[in-house]
Structure 1
Protein backbone atom coordinates (compact mmCIF):
# COMPACT_ATOMS: atom_id res chain seq x y z
CA UNK A 1 0.00 0.00 0.00
CA UNK A 2 1.26 3.48 -0.88
CA UNK A 3 1.60 6.00 1.93
CA UNK A 4 -1.76 7.62 2.62
CA UNK A 5 -2.46 11.17 3.72
CA UNK A 6 -3.26 11.84 7.38
CA UNK A 7 -7.00 12.06 6.68
CA UNK A 8 -7.06 8.88 4.61
CA UNK A 9 -4.98 7.06 7.19
CA UNK A 10 -7.40 8.02 9.94
CA UNK A 11 -10.36 6.92 7.85
CA UNK A 12 -8.65 3.58 7.20
CA UNK A 13 -8.19 3.07 10.95
CA UNK A 14 -11.82 3.94 11.72
CA UNK A 15 -13.10 1.65 8.97
CA UNK A 16 -11.01 -1.23 10.27
CA UNK A 17 -12.23 -0.63 13.82
CA UNK A 18 -15.85 -0.69 12.66
CA UNK A 19 -15.17 -3.96 10.86
CA UNK A 20 -13.16 -5.84 13.49
CA UNK A 21 -13.77 -3.99 16.77
CA UNK A 22 -10.05 -3.65 17.55
CA UNK A 23 -6.72 -2.84 15.89
CA UNK A 24 -3.08 -3.23 16.82
CA UNK A 25 -0.23 -0.78 16.31
CA UNK A 26 1.97 -3.47 14.73
CA UNK A 27 -0.64 -4.53 12.16
CA UNK A 28 -1.58 -0.96 11.24
CA UNK A 29 2.07 -0.03 10.85
CA UNK A 30 2.55 -2.84 8.32
CA UNK A 31 -0.70 -2.24 6.46
CA UNK A 32 -0.24 1.53 6.17
CA UNK A 33 3.52 1.41 5.59
CA UNK A 34 4.31 3.92 8.35
CA UNK A 35 6.19 3.71 11.63
CA UNK A 36 4.68 2.52 14.91
CA UNK A 37 5.33 6.01 16.31
CA UNK A 38 3.13 7.50 13.58
CA UNK A 39 0.33 5.03 14.30
CA UNK A 40 0.44 5.79 18.03
CA UNK A 41 0.13 9.51 17.26
CA UNK A 42 -2.81 8.73 14.95
CA UNK A 43 -4.54 6.74 17.68
CA UNK A 44 -3.91 9.50 20.21
CA UNK A 45 -5.50 12.08 17.90
CA UNK A 46 -8.50 9.86 17.18
CA UNK A 47 -8.98 9.16 20.88
CA UNK A 48 -8.96 12.91 21.50
CA UNK A 49 -11.88 13.15 19.07
CA UNK A 50 -13.63 10.34 21.00
CA UNK A 51 -13.58 8.05 17.95
CA UNK A 52 -11.77 5.16 19.65
CA UNK A 53 -10.27 3.95 22.93
CA UNK A 54 -6.56 3.25 23.13
CA UNK A 55 -5.23 0.21 24.95
CA UNK A 56 -1.89 -1.54 25.34
CA UNK A 57 -0.67 -2.18 21.81
CA UNK A 58 -3.64 -0.78 19.90
CA UNK A 59 -7.20 0.50 20.20
CA UNK A 60 -10.84 -0.61 20.38
CA UNK A 61 -14.00 0.85 18.90
CA UNK A 62 -15.97 0.74 22.16
CA UNK A 63 -14.95 1.50 25.74
CA UNK A 64 -13.37 -1.74 27.05
CA UNK A 65 -13.69 -0.83 30.72
CA UNK A 66 -16.74 -1.92 32.69
CA UNK A 67 -18.28 -0.38 35.80
CA UNK A 68 -20.24 -2.29 38.40
CA UNK A 69 -24.02 -2.41 37.87
CA UNK A 70 -26.80 -3.84 39.99
CA UNK A 71 -27.96 -7.35 39.09
CA UNK A 72 -31.52 -6.01 38.60
CA UNK A 73 -30.24 -3.68 35.89
CA UNK A 74 -28.26 -6.41 34.13
CA UNK A 75 -30.86 -9.19 34.32
CA UNK A 76 -32.82 -8.13 31.23
CA UNK A 77 -29.88 -6.97 29.13
CA UNK A 78 -29.37 -9.36 26.19
CA UNK A 79 -32.08 -11.58 27.69
CA UNK A 80 -32.76 -13.72 24.57
CA UNK A 81 -29.06 -14.45 24.15
CA UNK A 82 -28.62 -15.34 27.83
CA UNK A 83 -31.65 -17.63 27.67
CA UNK A 84 -30.22 -19.52 24.68
CA UNK A 85 -26.79 -19.75 26.31
CA UNK A 86 -28.42 -21.10 29.47
CA UNK A 87 -30.36 -23.77 27.55
CA UNK A 88 -27.27 -24.94 25.69
CA UNK A 89 -25.18 -25.04 28.87
CA UNK A 90 -27.84 -27.08 30.69
CA UNK A 91 -27.31 -29.86 28.16
CA UNK A 92 -23.79 -30.40 29.54
CA UNK A 93 -24.99 -31.64 32.93
CA UNK A 94 -24.46 -35.37 33.50
CA UNK A 95 -26.42 -37.73 35.79
CA UNK A 96 -25.31 -37.43 39.43
CA UNK A 97 -23.09 -34.46 38.58
CA UNK A 98 -21.46 -32.25 41.20
CA UNK A 99 -21.11 -28.76 39.76
CA UNK A 100 -20.19 -25.26 40.80
CA UNK A 101 -22.22 -22.31 39.56
CA UNK A 102 -20.74 -18.86 40.00
CA UNK A 103 -22.66 -15.59 40.27
CA UNK A 104 -24.09 -13.38 37.54
CA UNK A 105 -27.14 -13.00 35.34
CA UNK A 106 -26.07 -15.38 32.55
CA UNK A 107 -25.51 -18.25 34.97
CA UNK A 108 -28.90 -17.45 36.50
CA UNK A 109 -30.50 -18.15 33.10
CA UNK A 110 -28.48 -21.38 33.08
CA UNK A 111 -29.91 -22.30 36.48
CA UNK A 112 -33.45 -21.62 35.21
CA UNK A 113 -32.91 -24.19 32.46
CA UNK A 114 -31.66 -26.96 34.76
CA UNK A 115 -34.20 -29.74 35.34
CA UNK A 116 -32.25 -32.97 35.84
CA UNK A 117 -33.92 -36.37 35.68
CA UNK A 118 -31.42 -37.72 38.23
CA UNK A 119 -29.70 -36.28 41.26
CA UNK A 120 -27.51 -33.19 41.00
CA UNK A 121 -25.35 -31.42 43.58
CA UNK A 122 -24.81 -27.68 43.13
CA UNK A 123 -22.57 -25.36 45.12
CA UNK A 124 -23.00 -21.65 44.47
CA UNK A 125 -22.24 -18.20 45.91
CA UNK A 126 -25.31 -16.78 44.11
CA UNK A 127 -28.43 -16.39 46.21
CA UNK A 128 -30.64 -16.14 43.12
CA UNK A 129 -29.17 -19.36 41.72
CA UNK A 130 -29.66 -21.19 45.03
CA UNK A 131 -33.29 -20.09 45.35
CA UNK A 132 -34.04 -21.03 41.73
CA UNK A 133 -32.66 -24.58 42.15
CA UNK A 134 -33.97 -25.19 45.65
CA UNK A 135 -37.43 -25.96 44.23
CA UNK A 136 -36.24 -29.32 42.84
CA UNK A 137 -36.27 -32.31 45.18
CA UNK A 138 -33.47 -34.06 43.27
CA UNK A 139 -31.06 -31.09 43.41
CA UNK A 140 -28.99 -30.68 46.55
CA UNK A 141 -28.03 -27.03 46.86
CA UNK A 142 -25.12 -25.86 49.00
CA UNK A 143 -25.03 -22.09 49.44
CA UNK A 144 -21.57 -20.66 50.12
CA UNK A 145 -21.36 -18.32 53.10
CA UNK A 146 -19.59 -15.00 53.36
CA UNK A 147 -20.03 -11.29 52.74
CA UNK A 148 -23.14 -10.61 50.64
CA UNK A 149 -22.53 -8.19 47.77
CA UNK A 150 -25.61 -5.99 47.50
CA UNK A 151 -25.19 -5.28 43.78
CA UNK A 152 -24.99 -8.97 42.82
CA UNK A 153 -26.83 -10.82 45.62
CA UNK A 154 -23.88 -13.20 45.89
CA UNK A 155 -21.26 -13.86 48.55
CA UNK A 156 -17.52 -13.23 48.50
CA UNK A 157 -14.68 -13.34 51.00
CA UNK A 158 -12.30 -15.67 52.79
CA UNK A 159 -15.02 -17.84 54.35
CA UNK A 160 -16.57 -18.66 50.98
CA UNK A 161 -13.11 -19.41 49.59
CA UNK A 162 -12.21 -21.72 52.48
CA UNK A 163 -15.36 -23.83 52.03
CA UNK A 164 -14.31 -24.68 48.47
CA UNK A 165 -11.24 -26.53 49.78
CA UNK A 166 -13.52 -29.36 50.93
CA UNK A 167 -15.04 -30.02 47.50
CA UNK A 168 -14.10 -31.25 44.03
CA UNK A 169 -16.34 -30.42 41.08
CA UNK A 170 -16.64 -31.87 37.60
CA UNK A 171 -17.53 -28.46 36.10
CA UNK A 172 -17.59 -24.79 36.94
CA UNK A 173 -20.13 -22.65 35.09
CA UNK A 174 -18.66 -19.19 35.27
CA UNK A 175 -20.16 -15.82 34.38
CA UNK A 176 -17.80 -12.91 33.69
CA UNK A 177 -17.93 -9.19 32.94
CA UNK A 178 -15.10 -9.19 30.42
CA UNK A 179 -13.24 -11.48 28.01
CA UNK A 180 -10.06 -10.05 26.54
CA UNK A 181 -7.45 -12.16 24.69
CA UNK A 182 -4.56 -10.45 26.48
CA UNK A 183 -6.04 -9.59 29.90
CA UNK A 184 -8.10 -12.77 30.21
CA UNK A 185 -11.33 -13.11 32.20
CA UNK A 186 -12.37 -10.32 34.54
CA UNK A 187 -15.16 -8.96 36.72
CA UNK A 188 -15.87 -5.54 38.22
CA UNK A 189 -15.24 -6.65 41.83
CA UNK A 190 -11.83 -7.80 43.05
CA UNK A 191 -13.23 -9.99 45.88
CA UNK A 192 -15.51 -11.75 43.42
CA UNK A 193 -12.54 -12.24 41.10
CA UNK A 194 -10.58 -13.87 43.92
CA UNK A 195 -13.45 -16.24 44.74
CA UNK A 196 -13.74 -17.15 41.07
CA UNK A 197 -10.05 -18.06 41.03
CA UNK A 198 -10.64 -20.49 43.91
CA UNK A 199 -13.63 -21.94 42.04
CA UNK A 200 -11.44 -22.64 39.01
CA UNK A 201 -8.88 -24.40 41.21
CA UNK A 202 -11.62 -26.62 42.70
CA UNK A 203 -13.04 -27.67 39.31
CA UNK A 204 -11.91 -30.13 36.65
CA UNK A 205 -13.38 -28.04 33.84
CA UNK A 206 -14.17 -24.32 33.54
CA UNK A 207 -17.06 -23.37 31.25
CA UNK A 208 -17.60 -19.65 30.68
CA UNK A 209 -21.13 -18.47 29.89
CA UNK A 210 -20.97 -15.01 28.32
CA UNK A 211 -23.09 -13.10 25.83
CA UNK A 212 -21.37 -11.28 22.98
CA UNK A 213 -21.29 -7.91 24.80
CA UNK A 214 -18.59 -9.26 27.14
CA UNK A 215 -15.96 -9.73 24.42
CA UNK A 216 -13.17 -7.15 24.25
CA UNK A 217 -14.18 -5.83 27.70
CA UNK A 218 -12.18 -5.54 30.93
CA UNK A 219 -13.34 -5.41 34.52
CA UNK A 220 -11.29 -4.14 37.46
CA UNK A 221 -10.61 -7.58 38.91
CA UNK A 222 -8.76 -10.16 36.81
CA UNK A 223 -9.99 -13.71 37.32
CA UNK A 224 -7.52 -15.69 35.22
CA UNK A 225 -5.73 -15.99 31.91
CA UNK A 226 -7.67 -17.68 29.12
CA UNK A 227 -5.34 -20.68 29.39
CA UNK A 228 -7.38 -21.73 32.46
CA UNK A 229 -10.59 -21.99 30.40
CA UNK A 230 -11.67 -25.14 28.55
CA UNK A 231 -14.96 -23.98 27.02
CA UNK A 232 -16.88 -20.78 26.26
CA UNK A 233 -20.58 -20.66 25.35
CA UNK A 234 -21.74 -17.44 23.73
CA UNK A 235 -24.19 -16.14 21.12
CA UNK A 236 -23.91 -15.66 17.37
CA UNK A 237 -23.17 -11.93 17.68
CA UNK A 238 -19.75 -12.53 19.26
CA UNK A 239 -16.92 -11.01 17.14
CA UNK A 240 -15.63 -13.66 14.74
CA UNK A 241 -11.98 -12.57 14.94
CA UNK A 242 -11.97 -12.96 18.73
CA UNK A 243 -13.67 -16.35 18.56
CA UNK A 244 -11.00 -17.48 16.10
CA UNK A 245 -8.28 -16.39 18.51
CA UNK A 246 -9.93 -18.30 21.34
CA UNK A 247 -10.12 -21.45 19.22
CA UNK A 248 -6.46 -21.05 18.28
CA UNK A 249 -5.73 -21.08 22.04
CA UNK A 250 -7.39 -24.49 22.25
CA UNK A 251 -10.65 -23.29 23.81
CA UNK A 252 -13.82 -25.08 22.72
CA UNK A 253 -16.25 -22.35 21.60
CA UNK A 254 -19.95 -23.17 21.36
CA UNK A 255 -22.49 -20.81 19.80
CA UNK A 256 -26.04 -20.74 21.15
CA UNK A 257 -27.71 -20.16 17.79
CA UNK A 258 -31.36 -19.09 17.86
CA UNK A 259 -32.20 -21.65 15.17
CA UNK A 260 -30.61 -24.57 16.96
CA UNK A 261 -31.23 -24.15 20.70
Structure 2
Protein backbone atom coordinates (compact mmCIF):
# COMPACT_ATOMS: atom_id res chain seq x y z
CA UNK A 1 0.00 0.00 0.00
CA UNK A 2 2.99 2.27 0.43
CA UNK A 3 3.44 2.24 -3.35
CA UNK A 4 -0.13 3.46 -3.81
CA UNK A 5 0.18 6.34 -1.35
CA UNK A 6 3.57 7.31 -2.84
CA UNK A 7 2.10 7.42 -6.34
CA UNK A 8 -0.90 9.39 -5.08
CA UNK A 9 1.36 11.98 -3.46
CA UNK A 10 3.44 12.24 -6.62
CA UNK A 11 0.71 12.37 -9.27
CA UNK A 12 -2.32 13.64 -7.32
CA UNK A 13 -4.40 10.67 -8.51
CA UNK A 14 -4.10 6.90 -8.94
CA UNK A 15 -5.97 4.61 -11.30
CA UNK A 16 -6.71 0.98 -10.45
CA UNK A 17 -5.61 -0.49 -13.79
CA UNK A 18 -2.42 1.56 -13.81
CA UNK A 19 -1.39 0.53 -10.28
CA UNK A 20 -2.23 -3.13 -10.93
CA UNK A 21 -0.04 -3.18 -14.05
CA UNK A 22 2.75 -1.29 -12.33
CA UNK A 23 2.85 -3.62 -9.29
CA UNK A 24 2.04 -6.81 -11.18
CA UNK A 25 -0.97 -7.63 -9.01
CA UNK A 26 -4.66 -8.30 -9.64
CA UNK A 27 -7.07 -5.41 -10.07
CA UNK A 28 -9.14 -6.69 -7.15
CA UNK A 29 -6.04 -6.57 -4.92
CA UNK A 30 -5.63 -2.87 -5.72
CA UNK A 31 -9.33 -2.20 -5.07
CA UNK A 32 -9.06 -3.93 -1.69
CA UNK A 33 -6.03 -1.83 -0.77
CA UNK A 34 -7.84 1.34 -1.83
CA UNK A 35 -10.79 0.46 0.38
CA UNK A 36 -8.46 -0.08 3.33
CA UNK A 37 -6.60 3.18 2.70
CA UNK A 38 -9.90 5.04 2.48
CA UNK A 39 -10.97 3.58 5.82
CA UNK A 40 -7.68 4.85 7.27
CA UNK A 41 -8.46 8.32 5.93
CA UNK A 42 -5.49 8.36 3.53
CA UNK A 43 -7.45 8.79 0.29
CA UNK A 44 -10.93 8.96 -1.17
CA UNK A 45 -11.99 6.46 -3.79
CA UNK A 46 -13.42 7.55 -7.16
CA UNK A 47 -14.65 5.63 -10.16
CA UNK A 48 -11.65 3.62 -11.36
CA UNK A 49 -9.15 5.10 -8.93
CA UNK A 50 -8.59 7.40 -5.98
CA UNK A 51 -7.74 10.98 -5.03
CA UNK A 52 -6.09 12.49 -1.93
CA UNK A 53 -8.25 12.46 1.20
CA UNK A 54 -8.59 16.25 1.25
CA UNK A 55 -10.18 17.87 -1.81
CA UNK A 56 -7.69 19.84 -3.94
CA UNK A 57 -7.56 23.60 -3.26
CA UNK A 58 -9.66 25.79 -5.49
CA UNK A 59 -7.99 27.59 -8.35
CA UNK A 60 -8.39 30.88 -6.51
CA UNK A 61 -6.52 29.61 -3.46
CA UNK A 62 -3.99 27.32 -5.14
CA UNK A 63 -0.40 28.19 -4.19
CA UNK A 64 1.99 29.36 -6.84
CA UNK A 65 4.78 27.06 -7.95
CA UNK A 66 7.25 29.11 -5.95
CA UNK A 67 5.10 28.85 -2.81
CA UNK A 68 4.50 25.12 -3.21
CA UNK A 69 8.21 24.32 -3.42
CA UNK A 70 7.75 20.64 -4.37
CA UNK A 71 9.00 18.59 -7.32
CA UNK A 72 6.15 19.70 -9.58
CA UNK A 73 6.93 23.32 -8.74
CA UNK A 74 10.53 22.76 -9.82
CA UNK A 75 9.40 21.43 -13.21
CA UNK A 76 7.04 24.38 -13.60
CA UNK A 77 9.77 26.88 -12.73
CA UNK A 78 12.05 25.31 -15.34
CA UNK A 79 9.35 25.68 -17.98
CA UNK A 80 8.58 29.36 -17.35
CA UNK A 81 11.52 30.80 -19.36
CA UNK A 82 10.27 28.89 -22.41
CA UNK A 83 7.03 30.87 -22.61
CA UNK A 84 6.70 33.06 -25.73
CA UNK A 85 6.77 36.81 -25.73
CA UNK A 86 3.71 39.05 -26.00
CA UNK A 87 1.37 37.87 -28.72
CA UNK A 88 2.38 34.23 -28.44
CA UNK A 89 0.06 31.24 -28.09
CA UNK A 90 0.41 28.49 -25.48
CA UNK A 91 -1.27 25.10 -25.17
CA UNK A 92 -1.43 23.58 -21.69
CA UNK A 93 -2.17 19.93 -21.02
CA UNK A 94 -3.89 18.81 -17.79
CA UNK A 95 -2.26 17.18 -14.79
CA UNK A 96 -0.13 18.09 -11.79
CA UNK A 97 2.98 19.46 -13.57
CA UNK A 98 0.95 21.60 -15.96
CA UNK A 99 -1.41 22.87 -13.26
CA UNK A 100 1.71 23.95 -11.33
CA UNK A 101 2.90 25.77 -14.45
CA UNK A 102 -0.47 27.49 -14.82
CA UNK A 103 -0.32 28.64 -11.19
CA UNK A 104 3.13 30.18 -11.72
CA UNK A 105 2.55 31.61 -15.20
CA UNK A 106 0.80 34.91 -14.31
CA UNK A 107 3.56 35.98 -11.92
CA UNK A 108 6.30 35.24 -14.45
CA UNK A 109 4.53 36.73 -17.47
CA UNK A 110 3.02 39.71 -15.66
CA UNK A 111 1.55 42.11 -18.22
CA UNK A 112 2.58 39.89 -21.12
CA UNK A 113 -0.34 39.36 -23.51
CA UNK A 114 -0.63 35.66 -24.27
CA UNK A 115 -3.28 33.39 -25.70
CA UNK A 116 -3.56 30.26 -23.56
CA UNK A 117 -5.68 27.20 -24.34
CA UNK A 118 -5.92 24.30 -21.94
CA UNK A 119 -7.50 20.91 -21.36
CA UNK A 120 -7.52 21.57 -17.61
CA UNK A 121 -10.54 23.06 -15.90
CA UNK A 122 -8.32 24.00 -12.95
CA UNK A 123 -5.81 25.84 -15.15
CA UNK A 124 -8.52 27.66 -17.11
CA UNK A 125 -10.20 28.90 -13.93
CA UNK A 126 -6.90 30.07 -12.41
CA UNK A 127 -5.68 31.89 -15.52
CA UNK A 128 -9.00 33.52 -16.44
CA UNK A 129 -8.56 36.03 -13.59
CA UNK A 130 -5.73 37.82 -15.41
CA UNK A 131 -6.73 40.46 -18.02
CA UNK A 132 -3.50 40.13 -20.03
CA UNK A 133 -4.25 36.46 -20.78
CA UNK A 134 -6.82 35.36 -23.37
CA UNK A 135 -7.85 31.97 -21.98
CA UNK A 136 -9.64 29.26 -23.94
CA UNK A 137 -10.91 25.95 -22.58
CA UNK A 138 -10.80 23.06 -25.08
CA UNK A 139 -14.00 21.57 -23.77
CA UNK A 140 -15.06 17.95 -23.82
CA UNK A 141 -15.79 15.42 -21.10
CA UNK A 142 -14.18 16.08 -17.71
CA UNK A 143 -12.53 12.90 -16.49
CA UNK A 144 -14.20 11.73 -13.27
CA UNK A 145 -12.28 12.77 -10.18
CA UNK A 146 -9.99 15.19 -12.01
CA UNK A 147 -9.98 18.48 -13.90
CA UNK A 148 -8.72 16.95 -17.17
CA UNK A 149 -10.87 17.14 -20.30
CA UNK A 150 -10.88 14.37 -22.90
CA UNK A 151 -12.77 13.17 -25.93
CA UNK A 152 -13.65 13.95 -29.53
CA UNK A 153 -14.87 17.45 -28.69
CA UNK A 154 -11.43 18.54 -27.47
CA UNK A 155 -9.67 16.79 -30.36
CA UNK A 156 -11.85 18.53 -32.93
CA UNK A 157 -11.01 21.91 -31.42
CA UNK A 158 -7.30 21.12 -31.56
CA UNK A 159 -7.51 20.10 -35.22
CA UNK A 160 -8.26 23.69 -36.25
CA UNK A 161 -5.87 25.47 -33.90
CA UNK A 162 -2.12 26.17 -34.02
CA UNK A 163 0.11 27.09 -31.07
CA UNK A 164 3.63 28.41 -30.68
CA UNK A 165 4.36 25.98 -27.85
CA UNK A 166 2.63 23.13 -26.01
CA UNK A 167 3.42 21.85 -22.52
CA UNK A 168 2.48 18.19 -22.10
CA UNK A 169 2.51 15.85 -19.09
CA UNK A 170 2.12 12.29 -20.40
CA UNK A 171 1.86 9.32 -18.09
CA UNK A 172 5.01 7.66 -19.39
CA UNK A 173 8.30 9.03 -20.77
CA UNK A 174 10.73 6.31 -21.75
CA UNK A 175 13.72 6.22 -24.15
CA UNK A 176 12.43 3.09 -25.89
CA UNK A 177 8.67 3.16 -25.41
CA UNK A 178 8.45 6.89 -26.13
CA UNK A 179 5.52 8.98 -24.91
CA UNK A 180 2.67 6.93 -23.48
CA UNK A 181 -0.49 7.15 -21.40
CA UNK A 182 -2.52 4.76 -19.23
CA UNK A 183 -5.58 5.11 -21.52
CA UNK A 184 -6.11 5.21 -25.27
CA UNK A 185 -8.41 8.22 -24.92
CA UNK A 186 -5.76 10.24 -23.13
CA UNK A 187 -3.16 9.23 -25.71
CA UNK A 188 -5.45 10.33 -28.56
CA UNK A 189 -5.76 13.80 -27.03
CA UNK A 190 -1.99 14.06 -26.61
CA UNK A 191 -1.50 13.04 -30.24
CA UNK A 192 -3.78 15.90 -31.29
CA UNK A 193 -1.86 18.30 -29.06
CA UNK A 194 1.42 17.31 -30.67
CA UNK A 195 0.02 17.98 -34.14
CA UNK A 196 -1.21 21.46 -33.16
CA UNK A 197 2.04 22.89 -31.75
CA UNK A 198 5.19 24.18 -33.42
CA UNK A 199 7.24 23.36 -30.32
CA UNK A 200 6.51 20.67 -27.75
CA UNK A 201 7.87 20.59 -24.20
CA UNK A 202 7.26 17.55 -22.00
CA UNK A 203 7.19 17.95 -18.22
CA UNK A 204 8.32 14.60 -16.81
CA UNK A 205 8.08 14.05 -13.04
CA UNK A 206 9.90 11.11 -11.50
CA UNK A 207 6.84 8.86 -11.67
CA UNK A 208 6.61 9.17 -15.47
CA UNK A 209 10.29 8.61 -16.28
CA UNK A 210 11.30 5.19 -17.53
CA UNK A 211 7.68 4.13 -17.57
CA UNK A 212 5.69 2.70 -20.48
CA UNK A 213 1.93 3.17 -20.33
CA UNK A 214 -0.80 1.22 -22.08
CA UNK A 215 -1.15 3.52 -25.11
CA UNK A 216 1.75 5.02 -27.08
CA UNK A 217 1.08 8.27 -28.90
CA UNK A 218 4.52 9.32 -30.15
CA UNK A 219 8.21 8.57 -30.26
CA UNK A 220 10.28 10.57 -27.80
CA UNK A 221 11.82 12.55 -30.65
CA UNK A 222 8.40 14.17 -31.23
CA UNK A 223 9.16 16.37 -28.21
CA UNK A 224 11.59 19.22 -28.70
CA UNK A 225 12.50 19.32 -25.03
CA UNK A 226 11.96 17.20 -21.92
CA UNK A 227 12.25 18.76 -18.46
CA UNK A 228 13.19 16.27 -15.74
CA UNK A 229 13.82 16.48 -11.98
CA UNK A 230 17.24 17.52 -10.75
CA UNK A 231 18.06 14.10 -9.33
CA UNK A 232 17.38 11.99 -12.41
CA UNK A 233 20.28 9.51 -12.86
CA UNK A 234 22.76 10.56 -15.54
CA UNK A 235 22.38 7.32 -17.57
CA UNK A 236 18.62 7.80 -17.86
CA UNK A 237 19.01 11.47 -18.80
CA UNK A 238 21.57 10.52 -21.46
CA UNK A 239 19.28 7.80 -22.84
CA UNK A 240 16.41 10.29 -23.11
CA UNK A 241 18.62 12.76 -24.98
CA UNK A 242 19.90 10.04 -27.32
CA UNK A 243 16.28 9.39 -28.33
CA UNK A 244 16.00 12.89 -29.77
CA UNK A 245 14.82 15.71 -27.50
CA UNK A 246 16.92 18.20 -25.58
CA UNK A 247 16.89 17.23 -21.90
CA UNK A 248 17.00 19.80 -19.11
CA UNK A 249 17.13 19.21 -15.39
CA UNK A 250 14.94 21.41 -13.21
CA UNK A 251 16.81 23.33 -10.54
CA UNK A 252 16.82 21.53 -7.14
CA UNK A 253 15.47 24.69 -5.51
CA UNK A 254 13.75 26.77 -8.20
CA UNK A 255 14.30 30.53 -7.98
CA UNK A 256 11.24 32.69 -7.48
CA UNK A 257 11.29 33.84 -11.11
CA UNK A 258 11.71 30.33 -12.50
CA UNK A 259 14.65 28.96 -14.38
CA UNK A 260 16.56 26.03 -15.74
CA UNK A 261 19.45 24.29 -14.11
CA UNK A 262 22.66 24.33 -16.17
CA UNK A 263 22.58 21.65 -18.89
CA UNK A 264 24.06 18.31 -17.85
CA UNK A 265 27.34 17.86 -19.78
CA UNK A 266 26.44 14.21 -20.29
CA UNK A 267 23.14 15.19 -21.86
CA UNK A 268 23.82 18.26 -23.98
**TM over 0.5, shorter chain:** yes
Contact 2:203 2:226 in 1 (8 A): yes
Equivalent residue for 1:212? 206
Equivalent residue for 2:16? none
Residue deviations 1:145-179 (CA, integer Å, cap 9, x gap): 11111133221111111111221101110012111
Q: Give the alignment partner of residue 82 of structure 1, picking from 52, 55, 72.
A: 72
Assess, with a 3 A threshold, how the Cα gap between structure 1 residues 143 and 70 changes in structure 2: closer, same or farther: farther
Equivalent residue for 1:140? 134
Output the CA distance in 2 between the equivalents of 1:64 and 1:179: 20
Deviation at 1:259, TM superposition (A): 4.3
Output the CA distance in 2 between the equivalents of 1:250 and 1:183: 13
DSSP 3-state at the match of 1:214? coil
- In the TM superposition, 1:180-259 aligns within 5 A as 180-259=174-253
Instruction: Note the residue ranges of structure 1 that are not aligned, 5 or more in a row.
Output: 1-61
Assess, with a 3 A threshold, how the Cα gap between structure 1 residues 259 and 97 changes in structure 2: closer, same or farther: same
Residue deviations 1:66-86 (CA, integer Å, cap 9, x gap): x9755657989x971110111
TM-score (norm 1): 0.69
Q: Give the alignment partner of residue 174 of structure 1, picking from 153, 159, 168.
A: 168
DSSP 3-state at the match of 2:217? strand
Contact 1:177 1:187 in 2 (8 A): yes
Assess, with a 3 A threshold, how the Cα gap between structure 1 residues 88 and 63 changes in structure 2: closer, same or farther: same
TM-score (norm 2): 0.67
DSSP 3-state at the match of 1:238? coil
Output the CA distance in 2 between the equivalents of 1:230 and 1:63: 31
Equivalent residue for 1:114? 105
Contact 1:71 1:153 in 2 (8 A): no
Q: Give the alignment partner of residue 101 of structure 1, picking from 92, 95, 103.
A: 92
Output the CA distance in 1 between the equivalents of 2:149 and 2:229: 28
Deviation at 1:203, TM superposition (A): 0.5
Output the CA distance in 2 between the equivalents of 1:145 and 1:253: 31
Aligned residue pairs total 199
Contact 2:78 2:251 in 1 (8 A): no
Output the CA distance in 2 between the equivalents of 1:165 and 1:86: 26
Output the CA distance in 1 between the equivalents of 2:104 and 2:245: 24
Cα RMSD after superposing both structures: 2.7
Contact 2:222 2:245 in 1 (8 A): no
Instruction: Note the residue ranges of structure 2 that are not aligned, 5 or more in a row.
Output: 1-21, 31-47, 58-67, 256-268
Equivalent residue for 2:155? 161
Larger Rg: 1
- Post-superposition, which runs of at least 4 consecutive aligned residues in structure 1 deviate over 3 A? 62-65, 67-76
